[in-house]
Amino acid sequence: MASVTLPQTASSLALTGGIPVGDVAYSRYPQFTEAAIARAAQVLREGKAIGLGRFHSPEIAEAEKTISEYHGDRHVLACSSGHAALQGALAGLEICGGDEVITTPYTWGASTSCILHQNAVPVFVDVERDTGLIDPELIEAAITPCTRAILAVHIFGQPANLQRLRAIADKHGIALIEDGSQAHGARTNGVRVGEVGDAAGFSCMGGKVLPTTEAGYLVTPHEEVFWKAAMIGQHMGRSPEPDFPDKLKPWVDSLVYTYRVTPLNAVLLTEQFGRIESWVAERRRHADMLREKLAGAKYLRMPDYAEGVLPVYHLMTMNFDAAAAGVSRDVFMKALQEEGLHAFGYVPSPIPDWKRLHWQDYAGPRVSWLSALEQAGVDYRNLDLPNCRHRIANSIEMRFDYIDDQEPMIDRTVEIILKVEAHIGALRDFAKSQNAS
């Protein structure tokens, strides 16, 4: 592959008054085919606005069948969001009321709030420094008689070590739940994310790898988990469906969360799954370009993955070497932004640092989970999570919605990064002047 030329390298940094390289643009995203738009329009013309399940909606039946085929014929429950899918997974496994769930502190809040909304107790263990994925080597020490599950998050489309997590879960007789909301199509040793756990939740909102408007789905190999999940988040637990279990019928009522999927989004789910493999392939192709063209970078690099691990690259995450660069991540990131790259830190702080989890001294609006945390006696304040904290201080993320040929934008991204690195001395001087003022 041809090396990247750097016409702007001679210019001083845009942060200090130089000429910026130019904005990094992305593929139009999300994209919907004309066929998908036509089908969605037809649903609206026919007034199909209510999603009561497969029995009442052929669109929902079609979507769940399509997704099931993609995920090895597992049971699929289409729902309103990834959060709904994850809470359904917990409810389907009857995890609630003080049960402990081991999970990651380095993620989007929905991966934790689904546990809290079941009045269960998150137990946070540290992550791998290179990837930000939950560290399997720390899990067994966190298991107690109250532990019911491990909830692993495939953050940024990077698959967690599912084989190791599965072995730990089986050894201790606990469940494994996957949050695949950013990882549709990611694989480890040929197995797709979502096909190892006892249940998995996926988000399909408009910014995800599989985009609709707002939707999600649960995947599980266990039929009883499917129906119990339906009972907490679907209209009457989908009890009118002909295969609803007789043993659950006495417990059907309308005390449910409104986690239904609409026929409109069911149609979009079906249509978008026809394109996912080509989108995943393009994301990987562009990531390979970026990795090769950034091989000479001194301070910023992509994570390394074991053989057989195939991420999907929802967002691109990179590791910054602040010690070698002599400037903080935030200063380096600001320089990238001024050149035209929308760089950011996705996780602002470890989730257990968040004040709405601190029942001991919480003074904000009342929330439903604090009594469960108080009863469990957990204290999340100042947890020792060195890898999580390091990653938050040193990782840089950016959009990676490259689903058609955007090699010039990969070149521009590399040009920006290498330009900032080439002027690292000037950036150090800038940081010193800011600190002095």
Q: What is the per-residue pLDDT for 44?
A: 97
Same domain, 19 and 147: no
- Report the C-alpha gap between 419 and 432 in whole angstroms: 20
Cis peptide before 30 (omega within 30 of 0): yes
Asked, for residue 104, whether it belongs to a domain, the answer is: yes
Whether pTM exceeds 0.85: yes
Domain that holds residue 293: 14-31+276-348+386-436
Token pair for residue 84? 């709904």
* Cβ–Cβ < 8 Å for 232, 256: yes
Q: How many residues does the chain have?
A: 437
Q: What is the reported pLDDT for 361?
A: 96
CB burial string 53-84: b at 16+ within 10 A, e below = bbebbebbbbbbebbeebbeebbbbbbbbbbb
* Domain final position from 257, 274, 291: 274
Q: What is the pLDDT of residue 8?
A: 47
Main-chain phi, psi angles of 412, to 5 degrees: -70, -40
270 and 398 fall within a common domain: no
Q: Are residues 308 and 222 located together in one domain of the fold?
A: no
Residue 263 shares a structural domain with residue 291: no
Q: What is the pLDDT of residue 10?
A: 61
H or E segment at 435? helix 424-436
For residues 359 and 167, give the distance between their C-alpha atoms in angstroms, rounded to a whole number.
Answer: 34
Q: Are residues 336 and 424 in the same domain?
A: yes
- Residue 400 included in any domain: yes
CATH number of the domain residue 151 falls in: 3.40.640.10
> Tokens 């497969």 appear where?
54
Same domain, 67 and 101: yes
Same domain, 270 and 283: no
Helical (H) or strand (E) element with 168? helix 162-172
Average pLDDT along the chain, 437 residues, taken 10 residues at a time: 49 94 97 98 97 95 98 98 98 98 98 98 98 98 98 98 98 98 97 98 98 98 98 96 97 97 98 97 98 97 96 98 98 98 98 98 96 97 97 98 97 98 97 87
What is the C-alpha separation between 422 and 162, in angstroms, rounded?
A: 40
Distances (CA, A) of 78 to 64, 195, 201, 203, 409: 6, 16, 10, 10, 35
Alpha-carbon distance 17 to 433, whole Å? 15
Helix (H, G, I), strand (E, B) or coil at 385: coil
- Count Cβ atoms below 10 Å from residue 383 Cβ, excluding itself: 17
Question: Do residues 188 and 298 both lie within one domain?
Answer: no
Q: What angle do CA 411, 415, 421 make, to 5 degrees?
A: 145
| Count of beta carbons in the 10 Å neighbourhood of residue 366 | 7
For residue 373, tell me if it sits in a domain.
Answer: no
The 3-state DSSP class for residue 307 equals coil
Q: What's the pLDDT score for residue 9?
A: 56
DSSP state letter for 103 = E
Pairing mode of beta strands 175-179, 191-192? unpaired
In a domain, 6, yes or no: no
